[in-house]
Structure formats: structure tokens, C-alpha cells
A and B are shown apart, each in its own frame.
Chain A
């Protein structure tokens, strides 16, 4: 007969792992790499805050957010106008990019013949890899002369829409110069839209292609057309991914510098007419003014950079949490 084990004998065994020297070094080195990345990344944020604080505290954050001028050396500066214009450019870009990206993503995942699919995906990736300067010169030299006609048409016929009117534009004036339409928020927005479309498109395509095949077949079996299937299965399934992808694109649009800089002519007032010449963005402001900035002017630019960074950070975090929370994001979390 075997004695029943007493309470004492049943104590949990102590689990020990014997790690060799190589494993310990490996662990230490990779932890160190993680720490280095962490340090660099936090340094960027902290340094911006530290250097920007001088400018923020000089007149108070309130003045910084509400002033519409940029003359740091006479202590008259703020990002109110620039911030609004940045957001306007990004919104124009999103309004153009999201339908385009959604259409292209649906085409690639639902309509394209199978043998073209991989090529099309590569094309979208290539479009994301084209440098922003190339988009910038394309927008400046090819797009702008063509878009002016469209701007003029919109300003002539749709000027009752608040954002589409243009000051000092009279369609009946024969001496009218078309230069009121160049360098506008609208044109900058179109170029930025092209740059963010591939990013949004590839996220959406990934989400769409994960829509469960069983439900697709079910919709077809109930007699749905292809569009009916897309509306009732693919789009509801991919909503989170669509929103998240669009927000990631928005984050990129807010931070875009060079293409915007090349196209706009900078103004420091809130200029809500999208089609009218004159616009600005925080990143273009930094690129424009960093060369001539004094010590304090630099601090002001840092504060502007910090604002931009915080904005993109919030947008990005919101986007990734939306993507992660949807049913469609679940598969990618291993």
C-alpha cells in the first residue's frame, strides 16, 4: 500500500532554467538594443518639449495656440493659422484619398483577375515608395497648370459653398489673372492625397482580403450581386480597418513637408478658401524658417514641431487601437 502524499510533499517544484553564457549575453544585448531604441525615441520627444518650453512659457501656451503670426523675435507668434491650414490640407487629402484608396483596394481584392493581383499590389507598394520630392515637382510642374481650370470652374459655379469661394474673383472679368488659383490648399491637398493613397489602400486591401470566405459564399448563395456581397460582407467586416487606415493616412498627411513646401505660398492668416492662393503647414513652416531662426526662434519652431508631433501621435494611436479592436485586426495579432 502506498501512503497518500502529505501536504508537505505536494509542494510545487521549483522551476529553474539553466541558461548558458551565450543565452545570457544574447538576452542582455537584445535588451540593450530595446533600451537604445527606447532612449533615442524618448529623447526626441523630451528634447522637443525641453527646447520648445522656452517659447511656450514666454507668452504662455494660450497665446501660442491663438496667435496668427510668426514673428518670434518680437514675441508675436503662434500656430493658430498654421495649424488650421495644416488640418485643412490634410482634410482635402483625406477626402480625395479615402474614396480612391477604397475603390482601388476593393478592385484589387474583389475584381482584379488573379494573375494581375500581385502586380497591382507591387504597384501600390511602389507608389508608396516614390519619394515625396518627386510628387512635389510633379504637382508643381504638371498638376498645377491643369488643376487651375478645375479650380476656376469650381469657383465660378460652386462659390456658394463656403470653402470654395475665392476673394477678388469675378468670372466676368476678362483681365482676370489665373494666379489667384495657384499655390492653393486645394492643389497641395491633391498632391498629399496621392502620397497617402497607397498607404491607405494597402491597409484596406489587407483587411478586405481577410473577409471570411464562408460569409462571402453565403451572400452569393442568397442571390447577392457582387456589389451586394461587398456591401453586406466585405465592407462591414472591414469598417475598422478602413477607419484605422484612413487615420494612419491622416497622420502622414499632417506631417508631409516637402511637397507642401514646394506648392504653397506661405500665409499666416486663417485662409479658409481652399481654392485661393496661399496656404501653410507646420512642417513647411519649420522648413521655411529654421535657417534664419535665432535661439528663441528655434525654440518657437521646436514648440511648433512638438505640436505637430503630438497631433500625429494622437491620430496614430487612435488609428492603431481602432485597427486592433476590430474583428479584422484580430488575425494579424499573433
Chain B
């Protein structure tokens, strides 16, 4: 090893800076001005030509026809404009981009228009308080919207779906646990049957309950029959969704539990189910949302009444979708308006359930919320303190004798 005896000379030279000038940000955007111009130009040209078609040249009519023709023309013009400065594959790429975007926009438009239209047509009855607190027993065909409401529909929907959920959730979740925890020929067969049953048209579920419970057992039209029909329909949906969620639970977690000496039951109860909790909740909520909106099983099993009925075991009962279905087929404008009001209420319930499902679910198995994380941290801090105290005691006892 050599020892440096002299300080090395400073040899670093500072390069000459170029004269200061404003730096120009490089554009990294993938959209060029010509792209935008081509889009706008094609749009304007399509609009103009379509207007010409519809007003002067051909006997076209109707809003939808206008949009369809304008869209086709727009695609043609856009392809033409882009092809002036791009090659074939690039033109196809641009066209497909436009088509994909418009498919997504069309779908969103349809969704928004369905929801907005329901609320818009339902706004009149929803303004009246009596819409929420009365049933239709006093509302004659010519009465205005300030008489009568859909309380019986709301009550019926809540009662029916509560019973259906009480039936579906324990059986459905247990069956899903069975499918994922006891693999074998038997559970494979059950899974096949369940998958087949997701294809069961809801009207067939209603027909089955109508023929068995309503007619053969002589229960007559009742809320409980409707709940049973909804359960038959919801059961495969819940089982399938829960089965998928349970299969996502990491095997390592379960093996860790077995390795620590946990039995099968304890592993399922303390590891598998808590890990999949948010997904299971989502599957139940989405199954409920499907069940709440079903009309056809209820149509065949619940009968129809204009009176509020709170007893699911006796007498006909209506739910919101069934009420909507009945009201919108009436020729009276007030009834139709009430039907839209009932549909809007139904949408409120479905939207509420949906938001709840998003808030609770949407996390992968084992992912915790902030609150859960804090709680876990607090528990492990307490454990650490307990261990520390215990160790102190031990060492104190160890020194004493």
C-alpha cells in the first residue's frame, strides 16, 4: 500500500456553459394537432352531410337514424383525412381507436340514459310525501299523485328480500365452503349442478315454486312463496361468487394454520373466512341486488294487492318491481307516473346496495382497511407489552432464588 504524500492537484475543469437560454419542454404527448384537427373536421363534415341528407335529399327521419348515419359518415371522413398523412396500418389503428371509444361511450350513454330516464319520469310522484307512506287502496284511477303511494311495495320488497337472504346466505356460504374445502367427486358434481343452475331462467324458478308451494301445498299467493322463488334464483349466484372468492384465499395461509396445529374447522373459521370476508360480503350484496330487482319469480308467486301487507305467510304481497310492472301497463297517466316512481325507488335501493358492495368489497383477500390495520397494530402492541412484562417477571423470579 502506498501512502500519498502530496496533495493531488485540482484538475477538474468546469466546462463552458452555453449561453443561458430558455429551455423548451419536449412534447411527450402522443396526440398531435393534426389528429385533433382530423377528428374535429371529420365530425363537422359528417354532421353537415347528415343534416343535408335528412333535410333535403332523402326521406330519412328520427333521432337514432340521424346518429347512425352521422356516425358511419364520420368514420368514413376520418379514415379519409387520416389516410392523407398516414400509412395503412396507422389508419386502421386510428379507426379502431375511434370505434373502441365509441363502444364505451355508447355503453355509458345507455346506462346513464336508463338511470336518468327512470328518475326523470319518476320525479313527479317522488315529490309527494304520501308516495312513501301510503299504499294504493284509496287511489282511484282518476286520483292525482297526491293520493296513494307505494309503501306496500317497499314493505313487500324488504320483507321478501330479508327472508330470501336469511335462507340463501347460510346455505349458500356453507355450500361454497363445502365446494372449496372438501374437494372430491361429490363436490365436483355439486359444483357442476350449481353452475348449471346459474342458467336457470328466473321465470322457471317462479314456475317451480308456483306449482309446488302455491298450488300443490296450497299456500296460495304469499310473500313467503315469493321469497322461496327468489332464494332458488339467488342461491346459485351467491354460491358461485362465494366459491370464486374462497378459492382466491392463499393456500400458504391455510397451511400456516395447519402447521400451527389448527384443525380443519378452526382453520376455516379463523383463517379462510376472515381472509375472504370482504369478497364474501360483496358476493352476498350483489346476489341481493339481483334478487331485489327480479320481477318474474315474484309475478308468479306473490299475487297482487293494493293493500299494505306485513304478514308474509298469508295473503298476497307485492314488491317494487312487480308494482312497477303492474302500474306501467295501466292506461292512466297517474298510474304510469307512480310506476316510474316505484322503479326509481328500486334503483335507489339497488344503487345503495351497489355502493355498499364497492365500499366493503373490492379489496383482495387479506387486504385490510386502515381501521383494521390500526386495530391489528394495537393488538400486537398489547401482546408485546404483555411479553415484556412477563419476561421481566421471569427474570426477576430467576434472580430471586
Same complex for A and B? Answer: yes
Question: Does A220 count as interface, using CB distance less than 8 angstroms?
Answer: no
Check B204 against A100 for contact (C-beta < 8 Å): no
Nearest-neighbor residue (CB-CB) of A299 within chain B = B211
- The stretch of A4-12, A65-73, A77-85, A310-318 that contacts the partner chain: A310-318
Check B293 against A132 for contact (C-beta < 8 Å): yes
Question: Does A163 count as interface, using CB distance less than 8 angstroms?
Answer: no
Contact residues in B for A227 (Cβ distance below 8 Å) = 89, 92-93, 96-97
Contact residues in A for B292 (Cβ distance below 8 Å) = 131
Question: Does B129 count as interface, using CB distance less than 8 angstroms?
Answer: no
Check A38 against B190 for contact (C-beta < 8 Å): yes
Leading 10 A-B pairs by shortest Cβ distance: A149-B62, A103-B103, A131-B293, A255-B201, A33-B174, A316-B199, A225-B93, A30-B178, A107-B104, A26-B265
Minimum CB–CB distance from B127 to chain A (whole Å) comes to: 19
Contact residues in A for B360 (Cβ distance below 8 Å) = none
A-B contact pairs, 24 of them (CB 8 A): A22-B265, A34-B179, A37-B190, A43-B208, A100-B106, A104-B107, A107-B100, A107-B101, A107-B103, A122-B358, A123-B111, A129-B289, A131-B293, A131-B350, A137-B343, A141-B328, A150-B65, A197-B107, A228-B93, A258-B321, A287-B203, A305-B201, A316-B198, A316-B199
Alpha-carbon gap, A131 to B297, bound state (A): 13
Alpha-carbon gap, A36 to B193, bound state (A): 12
Alpha-carbon gap, A241 to B80, bound state (A): 34
Minimum CB–CB distance from A106 to chain B (whole Å) comes to: 5
Question: Does B263 count as interface, using CB distance less than 8 angstroms?
Answer: yes
Nearest-neighbor residue (CB-CB) of A147 within chain B = B64
Check B107 against A100 for contact (C-beta < 8 Å): yes
Contact residues in B for A122 (Cβ distance below 8 Å) = 358
Check A141 against B121 for contact (C-beta < 8 Å): yes
Knowing A197-B107, A226-B93 touch, does A130 contact B196 (C-beta < 8 A)? no
Check B339 against A137 for contact (C-beta < 8 Å): yes
Contact residues in B for A256 (Cβ distance below 8 Å) = 201
- Contact partner of A258 (CB less than 8 A), chosen from B172, B178, B296, B340, is B296
A38, A99, A112, A150: which has the most chain B beta carbons within 10 Å? A150
Check A134 against B343 for contact (C-beta < 8 Å): yes
Minimum CB–CB distance from A224 to chain B (whole Å) comes to: 8
Contact residues in A for B194 (Cβ distance below 8 Å) = 37, 41
Check A44 against B205 for contact (C-beta < 8 Å): yes
Per-residue contact bits, chain B 24-45, to A (CB 8 Å; 1 contact, 0 not): 0000000000000000000000
Check B247 against A334 for contact (C-beta < 8 Å): yes
Minimum CB–CB distance from A177 to chain B (whole Å) comes to: 15
Check B328 against A140 for contact (C-beta < 8 Å): yes
Check A131 against B97 for contact (C-beta < 8 Å): no
- Contact partner of A255 (CB less than 8 A), chosen from B111, B202, B289, is B202
Question: Does A283 count as interface, using CB distance less than 8 angstroms?
Answer: yes
Alpha-carbon gap, A153 to B66, bound state (A): 11
Alpha-carbon gap, A125 to B107, bound state (A): 12
Contact residues in B for A100 (Cβ distance below 8 Å) = 103, 106-107
Check B100 against A33 for contact (C-beta < 8 Å): no
Alpha-carbon gap, A141 to B175, bound state (A): 42
Alpha-carbon gap, A137 to B189, bound state (A): 40
Minimum CB–CB distance from B206 to chain A (whole Å) comes to: 8
Check A30 against B177 for contact (C-beta < 8 Å): yes
- Contact partner of B263 (CB less than 8 A), chosen from A20, A47, A120, is A20
Question: Does A257 count as interface, using CB distance less than 8 angstroms?
Answer: yes
